[in-house]
Structure 1
Amino acid sequence: MATLLYRLGKTAYRRWPFFIAGWLLVIVGVGTIAGTMSKPMSDAFSIPGIPSEKAADMQKELFPGAQTGFDEASANMVVAAPKGHTLKEAKYSGAVDDLIKQMGAVPQMPKAPMLNPVTANGPGFEQTVSAMVKQGMSKPNAEAAVRGTLSKDSRVGTLQWSFDVKTVTDVKPATQDKVLDVMDQARKSGLTVEVNGSGMQKFTEPGGSSELIGIGVALIVLFLTFGALVSAGLPIITAVYGVALGTIGVTAMTAFMDIGSSTPILASMIGLAVGIDYTLFILARYRSEMEKTEDRLEAVGRAVGTAGSAVVFAGLTVLIALSALAVVGIPFLTAMGLAAAATVLIAVLVALTLLPAILGLLKSKAFGGQLRKFNPKRDADGKILNNGVRWARLVGKQPVVVGLLVLIGLGSLAIPVKDLHLALPTDSTAAASTTQRKASDLMADNFGAGREAPFLVVVDGRKVSDAAARPAAYNEVVTWAKGHEGVVDARVVGKNLQGTGAMVSITPSTGPDDTKTEDLLASLRDDQSAIESKSGTAVGVTGINAIQTDVSERLTSALPVYLAVVIGLAFILLMLVFRSILVPLTATLGFLLSVLATLGATVAVFQNGLFGLVDGQPLVSFMPIFLIGIVFGLAMDYQVFLVTRIREAHVHGATTREAVVDGFRNSARVVSAAAVIMISVFAAFMLMPDALIKSIGFALAVAVFFDAFIIRMALIPALMYLMGEKAWWLPKWLDRILPNVDVEGESLTKLQASQPKHVSDDVDEDELVRV
């Protein structure tokens, strides 16, 4: 492989106009397809096989016109009079009437007008109840539902509706903004007005400003690394190009398949990360090779042949981690993983071909704009003496102590993992400053926490042959639901025209983010077969809360399988790279330790409320999957780039101890720079107000810090010192089976020895580049 990439790098350097033109044509071609043939991204949300979706399918059969919890764009507006007053006072009741009138002019609102909770519970009570009875609800249940729109002290009321759209994502941002404007007008009368619900969720892609912050930090770090403005900008340019091509490619693919609007998020995040890293590693190796030769063409070839080989295998580990998201069985997650994997593939190809082509274009200007010369200190033997060497030698003095400190330190941080509680975000866990959270708190304080965590039981009575007996069967289901611990209320809220199906709403005593609510759902499903036998019906539990719980369980159950697939395939790949069993084993075990420590720290800060940064709340269900996928790829990047330099020195005759020092001499600075850039990109997400985004940014930043600086920079060299020559042990039978991929560039040494030495034609004899 090294020889193949060596020739590719030299060809791209010599034929730079063709390669640059080729990449420009690619992005123009893909952009043309995206601009002329792309279709709107699909936001159909489905999780095949989960119980709540099966119940939702039953609901669609029995109630063809009804929307399921997957699609319904519901909203809850909470209005409250000032303390010491009630909504029944003419001033505030009139203000609510004005609010309802203005809401009627909001686009995408349903045709049926909202009812003032005071009016509905006053003179219009019987009329409202009658209308609900006509829709299939029993009179007692209808009366209870109407009374439930006004708090016992008459100070707080609710207005509920569903936007007139097919799916949640069809609600236009302009509609949501208009609702907020109407609320602002109503507040002038003295009312407290807040709103939440799926229809008021903003479908924005967080991270734009965070990525800009990350790019800014990256420029600073790259400048400190290379000491030159041009070389500092090269990784940014190539990474941005790769991300742009990847995201445009995702848009273009909508012409051929359905793709969710959330798909580009992960692609842009991971594409920017690895795009900077891969170019940085090859560019740093190019600078190192220029110390050994005056031939820039040869230096580019060797840089792409050696560091490029590491880029290929590092990229493959990331591709494995992202593509393996398909094992979770959630379509939108699979699409995100595959789109991100494609972007990573583009990043690899850009680093291997576009970067050397740009170097061919710039020639001696590649390290232009220097504000400091690269003039490192040297040992007595003439080799570079830098902080990487000093650190490696320090670890080498007490490898056992370093190893124990890492194990004890990260092991202690991992302890809170035992309290890990995963759930999807709800309005009750939103930032305290948001209207969604304020509405949720008002609902919980005045109507009970379970008001926002209802379950919907779909009852199929088609197997009950006697139509007259079906209402009694539905009432049996209601009685059964009320008999479960933690149920505040259960009632029939609708029947279809044929009388063959009913919907039963269950209100728990606890909120959507409470583990007791999850226990209630499990209890209902455990007893499901018993009520089906007794009533002769078929039942299924759905609703947004049940859907979220099922998705969380699917993600949690898929985690061990995902880990096994990712780590298993990566272990095999690392065996090919390092020709060893112990090196890949220590690499993967070190990663697991850093992930456990990261999850423990995140649980302590965001779930248990350590330091008071946020109110304690569950961690989002997909965090562990994303954390493992993204950080595993980056961790293996650092492992490959650091240890391949160690193995390269060992292959060329150095002892393991000497090889470790030499590896840190050549790679520690670059790996540190790459890690600092990634930490900055992820940590910038903590500046956003949403606690969910804060927790993800925190987890990713901490994970990269733990893995890059504690595992790769401390534990791995300590273990390498302790293992000595045994680190490279590989059974002879396995050595014969595994192909030799030559990441270290051993074949290049032989190839170079057979070629006459010369200076590249593009070298300016009066100004040889010394970088």
Structure 2
Amino acid sequence: MATFLYRLGRLAFRKRWYVALVWVAVLTVAGLGALKAPGASDDGFSMLGIESQKAFDLLEQRFPGITADGATARVVFVAPGGEKVTAGENRQVIERAVDELAAGTQVASASDPFEGKAVSRDGGTAYATVTYKVGAKELTDASKSRLDQVLHTVQASGLTVEAGGSAMDTGSAPGGSAELIGVAVAAVVLLITFGSLAAAGLPLLTALIGVGVSMATILALAHALGLSTTTGILAMMLGLAVGIDYALFVVSRYREERTEGHAPQEAVGLAVGTAGSAVVFAGLTVVIALAGLTVVGIPMLSKMGLAAAGAVVIAVLVALTLVPAFLGFWPDAVLGRKTRKSGRIAGKGTRNNGGSRWARFVLRRPLSVLLLGVSGLGALALPATGLQLGMPGDEAKPVSTTERRAYDALAEAFGPGFNGPLTIVVDAKGDADAKGAAAAIAQQIRATDGVVSVSPARFNEAGDTAVLQAVPATAPTDEKTKDLVTAIRNERPALETRTGATFEVTGTTAVDIDIADKVQSALFPYLAVVVGLAIVLLMVVFRSLLVPLKAALGYLLSVLASLGVVVLVFQQGHGAGLLGAEHTGPIMSLMPIFLSGIVFGLAMDYEVFLVSRMREAYVHGEGSGEAITSGFRHSARVVVAAALIMIAVFAGFIGEGDPMIKMIGFGLASAVLFDAFVVRMAIVPAVLALLGDRAWWLPKWLGRLLPHVDVEGEALTRRPETDPEQTGTAKDRERARA
């Protein structure tokens, strides 16, 4: 591995013009493809194997022409204080508005609140439900404009009008401020770390090129592969973070090799052969974690994971080829200012820097550091025991949005459960008395504790399928609503025996509950697959049994601690206002598995970069304690910089308005903070110090089974010097300098 990458780095250095032109061509082709490709379609949110999804499929089959997941808009009308919406002029305004909404070309129906009994008991609030023929992302500008126009007209009449529902979802991706904040902080960190504008700018430039290729490719393939507009968010987030970090490690190792007296081309080869090997294996762990998201069974999550994995692969390729090529263009520009001014390469790096001092501190008191780190992360993980899963809806949006105000108005006028009705799909096919069966089912559900009301049954043309709406007494994200759904489903066997018909529960609330249950049940198999594969990979990298196990246990600590602080802020509300989270409640259902997968990949990044230097020193003859100090002396500063950059990139997304993106950004930033600074920088050296030489023990039989991959660059130390600048002819040296 190291020898191959060494040759690749030298080749990219020598053929820098060709390498640069190839990447420019790739970026151009991907960009043109993105410009010419059709827009991303709305592939919906489906999950095979859950009851609510089966009910949606049955609705589409038995009610042809009606899209079960078509967009909806619920328009809420509130009369001024003391007045009623049923008053003459107010009623006329509302009826005209409903007629105008129903005239839209993409509208399937618009309900009249006065005919459908959609008026509150006090007469102060009414609502109309607008159902569209297409999904939210397929609504035309004309349809959205008509809805906005009606809202403004009603508002001008003196009524308060708000609108919620999926039709109000713009589906827009982050607006760019998050990325700009992350890049700006990364630039500052890189400048402080390297003390050179060129060294700071190179990782940023190559990372942006890699992200450009990734995002353009995703946009070009979006329509063909059914990728939604949100698929690229994770790819952009991770592509930018790992792209900067991977380039940072190669550039840092290049500078280090130059201080050892190596000529530019040789230094590039050694940097790619050693740091590049760590980049390859670190990238593989991230790809394994992201590709593993496919086991959950959610198509959208699978596509997001695979798209992000592709972005990571591109980041690795950029670090191994484009970074060496750019170093070939400016071999001395990335060196320190003093070195460039004096024209002399300094000798070996200092034996005593902040990293080595910290390592010696841990080596003197490893047990205390270990106990403090584990107990601190354990305390932060405690809130995770009260984790409640759900899917934040309009109630989680800022009060400045019309969706949130519509949600609050409906909850106040009709009760907290009105915003999350349950859809009961009655399948009476083959039943002689379909109407009687539907009536019996409706009566039983109406008598269930926690149900406020059940709507009259609406049958399809064949008369064999009915739809009921059951309104719970509690809010959609309330645990009592989940218990209610379970209770209704438990009544099904008895009703089926009595009536000969069966039913299924669906609707947004039921879908959220089913997704949470399925994700929760898939979490442990997912972790088993991903962690198992990564442990095998790390055993190959480190030729050790205990180091990979320690890495996995440290990861579990950091991911549980990050879940704990997410619960603390977004569920319990501690400090939520500081992050702009105006509503607290259940954590997004996908968050635990999402966080677990991404954090595992990133955690292994730091494990590989830091411990591979320790392993390298140990293989080259240093004692176990001395190897820990050596690893920190060479890598601690760069790992700290890389972690700060990732934290900055992820934290930038906390400023986004979307509660899901805000939560993901906060969770990932917290996880990197805990894993890099507590687990990898404190717990890892403490455990290695306590284990001593046993840390690098590997059973002989297992060693024979595992392939031998030279990550430490041991083959490079035995390789005779071949750099033409040092051993070749005058012509060779001139060609190498060129």
The interval holding the TM-score normalised by the smaller chain is: over 0.9
The answer to whether the Cα contact below 8 Å between 1:229 and 1:369 also exists between their aligned partners in 2 is no
Out of 704, 723, 732, the position equivalent to 1:736 is 704
Deviation for aligned residue 1:550: 1.6
Corresponding position of 2:526: 562
Closer, same or farther in 2 for the Cα pair 1:688/1:32, shift >3 Å? closer
CA-to-partner distance for each residue in 1:207-250, whole Å, 9 max, x for gaps? 62101110111111111111111111111111111111112222
SS at match of 1:79: strand
Give the superposition deviation at 1:763: 12
Is 1:10 the counterpart of 2:10? The answer is: yes
Is it true that 1:645 corresponds to 2:609 in the alignment? no
Partner of 1:153: 122
Q: Specify the SS of the correspondent of 1:580.
A: coil
Q: Does residue 687 in structure 1 map to residue 684 in structure 2? A: no
* Pairing 1:262–2:258 present: no
Tell me, yes or no, if the aligned pair for 1:229 and 1:368 is still in contact at 8 Å: no
Amino acid of the residue matched to residue 3 of structure 2?
T
Match of 1:327 among 295, 301, 306: 295
Counting only pairs closer than 5 Å after superposition, residues 327-406 of structure 1 correspond to structure 2 as 327-367=295-335, 383-406=350-373
The residue type paired with residue 85 of structure 2 is L
Amino acid at match of 1:408: S
Which residue of structure 1 lines up, in the alignment, with residue 604 of structure 2? 636
Match of 1:82 in 2: 80
Equivalent residues of 2:195, 2:336 under 8 A apart = no
- C-alpha deviation, 1:724, in angstroms: 0.9
More off after superposition, 554-563 vs 488-497: 488-497
Post-superposition shift, 1:98? 5.6
Of 550, 553, 556, 2:514 maps to 550
Deviates more, 1:301-310 or 1:288-297: 288-297
Matched, 1:284 2:288: no
Post-superposition offset of 1:114: 5.2
Question: Which residue pairs with 1:110 in the alignment?
Answer: 107
Aligned CA RMSD, in angstroms, stands at 2.7
CA separation of 1:736/1:497 partners in 2, compared to 1, >3 Å: closer, same or farther?
Answer: closer
Tell whether the 8 Å contact from 1:228 to 1:370 is kept in structure 2 after alignment: no
Q: Distance in 2 between matches of 1:382 and 1:500?
A: 81
Query: By how many angstroms is 1:35 displaced?
Result: 4.5
Cα contact 2:390–2:477 (8 A) shared by 1? yes
Residues 25/634 of structure 1: CA separation in 2 closer, same or farther (3 Å cut): same
In the TM superposition, 1:754-769 aligns within 5 A as 758=726
Q: Conserved in 2, the CA contact under 8 Å of 1:285 and 1:303?
A: yes
Aligned-residue offset at 1:101: 6.0
The amino acid of 1:20's aligned partner reads A
How far is the alpha carbon of 1:752 from its aligned partner?
Answer: 3.5
Measure, in 1, the Cα distance between the counterparts of 2:119 and 2:162: 15
2:352·2:633 contact (CA, 8 Å) conserved in 1? yes
CA offset digits 1:534-558 (Å, max 9, x no partner):
1111322222222222222221111
d(CA) in 2 for partners of 1:294 and 1:446?
76
Rounded Cα–Cα distance in structure 2 between residues aligned with 1:417 and 1:561: 19
Question: d(CA) in 2 for partners of 1:112 and 1:73?
Answer: 11
Q: 1:590 is matched with which residue?
A: 554
State the distance in 1 between where 2:376 and 2:515 align. Answer: 33
Q: 1:79 to 1:585 in 2, by over 3 A?
A: same
Q: Out of 554, 561, 581, which is 2:545 matched to?
A: 581
Equivalent position of 2:502 in the other structure = 538
Aligned mate of 1:518, from 476, 482, 486: 482
Does the C-alpha gap of structure 1 residues 177 and 697 become closer, same or farther in structure 2, counting only changes over 3 Å?
farther
What stretches of structure 2 of length at least 5 have no aligned partner? Answer: none
Question: Which 10-residue stretch deviates more, 44-53 or 195-204?
Answer: 44-53
Contact 1:271/1:340 (CA < 8 Å) preserved in 2?
yes
The corresponding residue for 1:572 is 536
- CA shift, 1:358, in A, is 1.2
Task: Call closer, same or farther: CA 1:97–1:52 in 2, change over 3 Å.
Answer: closer
751-760 or 586-595, which moves further after superposition? 751-760
- How does 1:648-667 map onto structure 2 within 5 Å? 648-667=616-635
> How far off its partner does 1:368 sit?
8.2
User: Partners in 1 of 2:478 and 2:342 — Cα distance?
Assistant: 58
Alignment of 1:184-223 (within 5 A): 184-206=152-174, 208-223=176-191
Aligned partner of 2:471 in structure 1 is: 507
Cα offsets for 1:465-524 (capped at 9, x unmatched)? x3xx22111111111211322111123331122222211221111111111111111222
Q: CA deviation at 1:109?
A: 5.5
Amino acid at match of 1:23: W
Separation in structure 2 between the aligned mates of residue 562 and residue 587 of structure 1, nearest angstrom: 17
Deviation track 1:538-585 (CA, whole Å, cap 9, x = no partner) reads 322222222222222221111111111111000000111111111111
| 1:602 aligned partner | 566
Give the structure-2-normalised TM-score: 0.93
**In structure 1, C-alpha distance between the alignment counterparts of 2:683 and 2:240, rounded to whole Å:** 28
CA deviation after TM superposition for structure 1 residue 716, in Å = 0.6
1:315-353 CA-partner distances (Å, limit 9, x unpaired): 100010000011001111111111111111111111001
Report if aligned partners of 2:109, 2:130 keep a CA contact under 8 Å in 1: no
Q: Partners of 1:482 and 1:373 in 2: how far apart?
A: 84
The reply on whether 1:487 has 2:485 as its aligned counterpart is no
Give the C-alpha shift of residue 438 in structure 1.
1.2
Residue 185 of structure 1 and its aligned partner are, at CA, apart by: 4.3
Is contact 1:580–1:728 with CA below 8 Å preserved after alignment?
Answer: yes
Using the TM superposition, name which of 189-198 and 630-639 deviates more.
189-198
* Counterpart among 409, 413, 426 of residue 376 in structure 2: 409
The answer to which of 168-177 and 47-56 deviates more is 168-177
User: AA paired with 2:460?
Assistant: N
Change (3 A) 1:256 1:433: closer
CA distance in 1, matches of 2:207, 2:725: 34
> What is the CA–CA distance in structure 1 between the aligned matches of 2:731 and 2:404, rounded to whole Å?
64
Mapped partners of 1:167, 1:567: distance in 2: 38
1:177 and 1:594 map into 2 onto residues whose CA distance is: 47
Q: 1:382 to 1:520 in 2, by over 3 A?
A: closer
Separation (CA, whole Å) in 2 of partners of 1:211 and 1:757: 41
Residues 445, 225 of structure 1: CA spacing in aligned structure 2 closer, same or farther, 3 A cutoff? same
Closer, same or farther: CA 209–160 of 1 in aligned 2, 3 Å: same
Offset at 1:753? Answer: 5.8
Deviations 1:23-78 (A, max 9, x none): 2222333444444565644524321221112122222232112221xx22111111
Q: 1:720 aligns with which of 688, 700, 712?
A: 688
3-state secondary structure, aligned to 2:75: strand
Unmatched 5+ residue regions in structure 1? Answer: 121-127, 129-145
Equivalent position of 1:142 in the other structure: none
- Output the amino acid matched with 1:404: L
Candidates 646, 671, 678, aligned match of 1:710: 678
Distance in 2 of aligned mates of 1:405 and 1:386? 24
Q: Within 1, Cα distance between the matches of 2:336 and 2:169?
A: 49
Distance 1:363 1:243, change over 3 A: same
CA distance in 1, matches of 2:53, 2:10: 55
Change over 3 Å in CA distance of 1:373–1:661 after alignment to 2: farther
Q: What do the CA deviations read for 1:92-145 (whole angstroms, capped 9, x no partner)? A: 44543564466467x556375653x4xx2xxxxxxx4xxxxxxxxxxxxxxxxx
For the 8 Å contact 1:227–1:372, the answer to whether it is kept is no
Residue pair 1:227, 1:373 contacting (<8 A) in 2 also:
no
Structure 2 distance, partners of 1:54, 1:694, is 31
